[in-house]
Amino acid sequence: MNGIKNTIENPAGLPAGPEENWKPIPGFPGYLASDLGQLRGRKGGILAQQIDEHGYHRITLRDARGRSRTRFVHNVILEAFVSLRPAKLDGCHNDGDQDNNALTNLRWDTRSANTYDKVRHGTHNYGSRNRCDWGHEYTEFNTQMAKVSGGSGRRYRRCRACNAAGATVWYAGKHGEQLDFQQVADGKFETFRAEHEARLREDAQQLAEGQKRQAVAA
């Protein structure tokens, strides 16, 4: 697999014991996942995990039809213990440590929440700053990741409200209308906040429905 840096036998660094719980992995008969982040193969042995170029643990399993499937380990753990992956949600690490795939450190959450986690844990540029120059918080709903020009592939964090306000003010100026940037940006921030809260309510309802379907199927 491209970008693999190394393999490890026991990602949790802990021996199997009575405190380690195992459950079948949906869609992959004979495989087991533990709540400490380990996986067992069909012959009962602990499976070696691969680490990709982004630091995420991956594993290659064979499905019921014998086809090889490479999956993120954190998603496998969540699917075994919580639910199948809900639509539009990602597997997230609560502490930002991609090596910690214990169930207690994982959750299903939105893509924007996953990005905000990276900012909060300092894995993006200027991660220690919590406000833009115009005073808007780098919240989950107000953080955008943009590419640095020049083709380096690096990314930086920017204020979504200010970015949107800049376009609005520029367009108004072209048509002879002068707008106050701070006022426009503050309004954008509040709009994005309201939209985010509405999405959270929708995601929570969707997750509850998915868990209900999973319970019925079981």
**124-175 confidence digits (pLDDT tens):** 544 556 888 888 988 888 988 777 776 666 677 789 999 999 999 999 999 9
At 166 the pLDDT is 94
DSSP state letters, the chain:
-TT---EES-TT-----TT--EEEPTTSTT-EEETTS-EE-TTSPBPPEEE-TTS-EEEEEE-TTS-EEEEEHHHHHHHHHT-SPPTTEEEEETTS-TT---GGGEEEEEHHHHHHHHHHTT-STTTT--B-TTS-B--STTEEEEEPTTS---EEEEEHHHHHHHHHHHHHHHTT----HHHHHHHHHHHHHHHHHHHHHHHHHHHHHHHHHHHHH-
Which residues 6+ apart lie within 8 Å of 187 measured at CB? 165
The residue length of the chain stands at 218
The CATH number corresponding to 1-123 among 3.40.140.10, 3.90.75.20, 3.40.50.1220, 3.40.1550.20 equals: 3.90.75.20
Q: Is this model's pTM higher than 0.85 or not?
A: no
Residue 106 confidence (pLDDT) above 80 = yes
- What backbone phi and psi angles, to 5 degrees, belong to 143? -115, 125
Q: For residue 5, what pLDDT is reported?
A: 37
72-81, 108-117, 143-152, 194-203 — most confident range:
72-81
Q: Hey, where are the domains in the chain?
A: 1-123, 125-218
Residue 125: its pLDDT value, please? 46
**Residue labelled with tokens 């930002």:** 96
User: Residues 144, 154: contact at Cβ < 8 Å?
Assistant: no
Q: 61: which 2 tokens?
A: 């399993």
CA 186/CA 177 separation, integer angstroms: 18
| Whole-number Å distance between alpha carbons of 93 and 104 | 9
User: What tens digit of pLDDT does each residue of 52-67 get?
Assistant: 877 889 999 999 999 9
